[in-house]
Amino acid sequence: MSLFDRILTLITPIRIILLLFAIFAWTRVVLRFRDKVVNFKELAFWTLVWFGMVIVIFLPYKTTYLAKALGMERGIDAMFLLGIVALFYAVYRLYIKLNETEREMTKLVRQIALKLGEEKPE
Amino acid sequence: MKLAILIPAYNEEASLGKVIETLPKELPGISKIEVVVVNDGSADKTREVALNAGATVVSHWFNRGLGGALGTGFEYIKRHDFDLLITFDADGQHNPDDIAPVIKPIVDGRADVCIGSRFIGHLGSMPWYRRIGIFGLNIITFLLFWTWTTDSQSGLRAFGRNAINKIEIKTNKMEVSSEFFYEIQAKGLKLTEVPIQSIYTAYSISKGQKNINAFNILAKLIYRRFFAK
């Protein structure tokens, strides 16, 4: 089988959709980097994430190395595990962030209330 | 001694006026009593009712919850040089006659903080499921903040000047009741408890907490204990 044929067998509709999505998501990050909304570290992180995604999409057997390193048999198991860990972490970050935001809001409302001052009965 | 009676109120027009009217106008050892209502973004006539009943009103622009309202009340009272602060619920579940015994340990200089506990002595008419919920929160409060109390969720608490100046409220909602015990322990304040009686009406029960909320409170308290800056 020639190299071209091997590449062709890799192309399936689901892979194309996922590839397009990864490219789309990555361009969003690049645009936000250009607008200076995210810094270089974040850009590098997301580039790695989406590049890793493309590898997993087209070369799923590569994840088997990762699974072996984690003491598992199948690459898909390792991906699920990492995905769940990442999601837990994301939820944890969101929870902390939300609590901080709530606190900032309360501080703001408090300062406004005290600045406007108390009302006394007539 | 100047006493502030702090009432956090959110949509309490139905009960607040009557609650303020029944509050004591004079107490032994107290030269001045001021009722401070923190109107926590109420959509009803809570503000007008409080003003008509003769209370000082500080208004939140929008609703922040019990902790937010108490924090604002503490800050106001700190800035206005009060010697004593008592928190009192707006829903009518507290007996105004309990104010004098709750402030007494502080007036006498025996404590910095005094909690009016519904679980000392006569147990009254608290619904059994509410008792279980509060007992659970007492244990959570103890495990997280290392302070044992018989009523971690009491709304009737008195604070002396030392406590008013030291306590910092950082939580927003019902978890504030347990947060007080963290502050008491962390700031080395002297705590005591006296028995009080609650008046359970259909109204005050409907305004009260649900047991399921204990899980939410637990999460917020863990956050407060280990993560909040």
Q: Which of B61, B162, B168 is nearest to B113 (CA)?
A: B162
The two beta strands, B113-117 and B56-60, are unpaired
Q: Which of B136, B164, B180 is nearest to B75 (CA)?
A: B164
Would A53 be classed as within a structural domain? yes
By the 8 A CB rule, do A59 and A31 touch?
A: no
Please tell me whether residue B113 adopts helix, strand or coil conformation.
Answer: strand
Residue B62 CA, distance from chain mean position? 20
The two beta strands, B157-160 and B113-117, are antiparallel
Whether residue A103 and residue B228 make contact (CB cut-off 8 A), yes or no, is yes
Model pLDDT for residues A25-49, shown as the tens digit of each residue: 999 999 999 998 889 999 999 999 9
Which pLDDT score is estimated for B124?
66
Which pLDDT score is estimated for B229?
65
B226 touches A at CB < 8 Å: no
Whether residue A106 and residue B36 make contact (CB cut-off 8 A), yes or no, is no
Name the CATH architecture for the domain at B2-226. Answer: Alpha-Beta Complex (3.90)
Strand partners, B33: B3
Strand partners, B157: B87, B115
* B49 vs B12: CA distance, rounded Å: 9
Task: Return the domain boundaries, chain B.
Answer: 2-226
* B23 vs B13: CA distance, rounded Å: 16
By the 8 A CB rule, do B39 and B59 touch?
A: yes
Would A122 be classed as within a structural domain? no
| Containing structural domain, residue A110 | 3-116
A112 touches B at CB < 8 Å: yes
* B225 vs B229: CA distance, rounded Å: 9
- Count of CB pairs separated by less than 8 Å, A with B: 66
pLDDT higher than threshold 70 for residue A62: yes
Would A106 be classed as within a structural domain? yes
Q: Which chain B residues have a beta carbon less than 8 Å from that of A102?
A: 172
By the 8 A CB rule, do A86 and A52 touch?
A: no
Q: Which chain A residues have a beta carbon less than 8 Å from that of B71?
A: 106, 110
Q: How many CB atoms lie within 10 A of CB A15?
A: 14
Q: Which chain B residues have a beta carbon less than 8 Å from that of A103?
A: 170, 172, 228
- Per-10-residue mean pLDDT of chain B, 229 residues long, equals 96 95 92 96 96 96 96 96 96 93 95 93 75 90 92 94 95 92 95 90 74 82 82
Q: How many CB atoms lie within 10 A of CB B215?
A: 10
Q: Which of A76, A3, A106 is nearest to B71 (CA)?
A: A106
**H-type alpha helices, chain B:** 13-22, 46-52, 66-79, 99-107, 128-145, 161-166, 176-186, 202-207, 213-226
| Residue type (1 letter), B178 | S
The tokens 């999505």 sit on which residue?
A21
Which pLDDT score is estimated for B79?
95
Would A19 be classed as within a structural domain? yes
A114 touches B at CB < 8 Å: yes
Report the run of H or E that residue B153 belongs to, with start and end. none
Whether residue A114 and residue B58 make contact (CB cut-off 8 A), yes or no, is yes
Which pLDDT score is estimated for B152?
92
The pTM of the full predicted model, rounded to 2 decimals, is 0.81
Report the run of H or E that residue B112 belongs to, with start and end. none
Would A34 be classed as within a structural domain? yes
pLDDT higher than threshold 80 for residue A10: no
Residue A16 half-sphere exposure toward CB, CA atoms < 13 A = 6
The number of distinct structural domains making up chain A is: 1
Whether residue B57 and residue A116 make contact (CB cut-off 8 A), yes or no, is no
Contacts of B166 (CB under 8 A, 6+ apart): B183, B187, B189
B72 touches A at CB < 8 Å: yes
A95 touches B at CB < 8 Å: yes
Which pLDDT score is estimated for B142?
93
By C-alpha distance, the chain A residue nearest B64 is: A106
